[in-house]
């Protein structure tokens, strides 16, 4: 019984963030300003653990209520960071989300030089499923490599290429076309390691010149304009919540 209780407890900053009020950094600031109370007492420690189902949390004197769930698809442009703020003043995706009425966060990340499909939500259960390595949700990218890649090189990606942090899971790879100097191919992975596709191509002795994420699960960018968002349909949300790729044995 004790273990079951511990599983539902969360730190106070996470409780505020998961209610959709703002980031954990903002939540810690609000707690420090005395704007948050738990069970009628002013809270001062953002790292204190509480049960959101049993403890009464208020913000500015009002009971904490979960925000309406939002599930968005953003076509992230190259050059944007997926963080909330950047000390160097570089553009972030939140500059593209100014019209979104609730606090949202990216379900997964795309690095600054990668464009394409990014899921943005305030639904933490949804975000956790999409990003959890155990879910194996497939993610598809279009890659422009800096060299002409042989079929043997592409097969190494299909077989599970060795990386510095261990072998990658086998990937689905389809050659799209070759030009005089470059290979364009599509790759689907079921992991979310840092810069994974770039590192996989580098393990072949080439570089990624362009990287676009085109699909997550069965959700595609379609004709969405770069820098724009659209709401996911209820059917798409359900499909992503149940999306799970088979694990190779």
CATH of the domain at 173: 3.30.70.1560
Asked whether the predicted pLDDT for residue 166 surpasses 90, the reply is yes
Confidence of residue 1 (pLDDT cuts 50, 70, 90): very low
Catalytic residue among 47, 51, 86, 111: 111
Domain match, 129 and 147 both? no
Residue 111 is a catalytic residue:
yes
Structure tokens at 207: 């570089």
**Rounded distance between C-alpha atoms, residue 114 and residue 77, angstroms:** 7
Task: Write down the residue that tokens 């079929």 correspond to.
Answer: 151
CATH of the domain at 10: 3.10.290.10
Write down the mean pLDDT value for the chain. 89
Domain match, 110 and 157 both? no
Domain match, 224 and 124 both? yes
Q: Which residues pair with 11 in a beta bridge?
A: 49
Which range of residues forms the domain containing residue 186? 138-216
User: For position 7, what pLDDT does the model report?
Assistant: 54
Number of domains in the chain: 3
Q: Is residue 37 part of a domain?
A: yes
Q: Which comes out higher in pLDDT, residue 109 or 173?
A: 173
Confidence of residue 5 (pLDDT cuts 50, 70, 90): very low
| pTM for the model | 0.79
Domain match, 151 and 35 both? no
Judged by average pLDDT, the poorest of 28-42, 55-69, 178-192 is 55-69
Q: Is residue 30 part of a domain?
A: yes
Q: Is residue 126 part of a domain?
A: yes
- Measuring CA to CA, how many Å separate 234 from each of 20, 68, 99, 231? 19, 14, 21, 9
User: For position 25, what pLDDT does the model report?
Assistant: 84
User: For position 16, what pLDDT does the model report?
Assistant: 86
User: For position 86, what pLDDT does the model report?
Assistant: 87
Q: What is the mean pLDDT of residues 101-112?
A: 88
User: For position 134, what pLDDT does the model report?
Assistant: 84
**Rounded distance between C-alpha atoms, residue 192 and residue 109, angstroms:** 9
Asked whether the predicted pLDDT for residue 244 surpasses 70, the reply is no
User: For position 3, what pLDDT does the model report?
Assistant: 43
Structure tokens at 56: 């009464």
Domain match, 9 and 125 both? no
User: For position 123, what pLDDT does the model report?
Assistant: 86
Minimal CA–CA distance to 82: which of 57, 119, 51? 119
Domain match, 173 and 76 both? no
Confidence of residue 249 (pLDDT cuts 50, 70, 90): very low
Q: Is residue 247 part of a domain?
A: no
User: For position 231, what pLDDT does the model report?
Assistant: 95
Tell me, letter by letter, the H, E, C secondary structure of 158-181: HHCCEECCEECCCCEEEEEEECCC
Domain match, 104 and 157 both? no
Asked whether the predicted pLDDT for residue 111 surpasses 90, the reply is yes
140 CB burial (10 A radius; 0-12, 13-18, 19+): buried
Q: At what angle do helices 234-242 and 124-131 cross, to 10 degrees?
A: 50
Domain match, 129 and 227 both? yes
Asked whether the predicted pLDDT for residue 6 surpasses 60, the reply is no
Minimal CA–CA distance to 20: which of 74, 82, 83, 66? 66
Judged by average pLDDT, the poorest of 9-23, 165-179, 191-205, 206-220 is 9-23
Domain match, 228 and 109 both? yes
Domain match, 44 and 26 both? yes
Domain match, 23 and 57 both? yes
**Rounded distance between C-alpha atoms, residue 196 and residue 80, angstroms:** 18
């Amino acid at each position: 019984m004790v273990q079951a209780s511990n599983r539902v407890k969360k730190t106070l900053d996470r409780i505020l963030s998961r209610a959709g009020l703002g980031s954990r950094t903002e939540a810690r600031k609000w707690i420090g300003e005395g704007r948050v109370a738990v069970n009628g007492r002013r809270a001062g420690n953002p790292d204190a653990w509480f049960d959101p189902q049993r403890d009464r949390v208020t913000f500015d004197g009002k009971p904490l209520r979960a925000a309406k769930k939002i599930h968005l698809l953003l076509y992230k442009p190259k050059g944007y960071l997926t963080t909330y703020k950047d000390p160097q003043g570089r553009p972030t995706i939140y500059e593209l989300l100014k019209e979104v009425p609730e606090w949202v966060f990216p379900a997964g990340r795309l690095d600054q030089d990668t464009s394409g499909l990014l899921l943005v939500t305030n639904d933490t259960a949804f975000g956790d499923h999409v990003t959890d390595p155990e879910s194996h949700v497939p993610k598809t990218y279009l890659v422009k490599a800096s060299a002409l890649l042989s079929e043997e090189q592409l097969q190494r990606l299909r077989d599970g290429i060795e990386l510095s942090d261990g072998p990658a899971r086998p990937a689905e790879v389809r050659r799209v076309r070759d030009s005089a100097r470059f290979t364009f191919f599509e790759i689907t992975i079921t992991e979310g390691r840092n810069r994974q596709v770039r590192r996989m191509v580098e393990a072949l002795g080439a570089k990624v010149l362009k990287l676009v994420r085109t699909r997550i699960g069965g959700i595609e960018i379609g004709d969405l304009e770069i820098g724009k968002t659209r709401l996911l349909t209820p059917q798409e949300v359900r499909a992503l919540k149940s999306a799970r790729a088979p694990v190779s044995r």
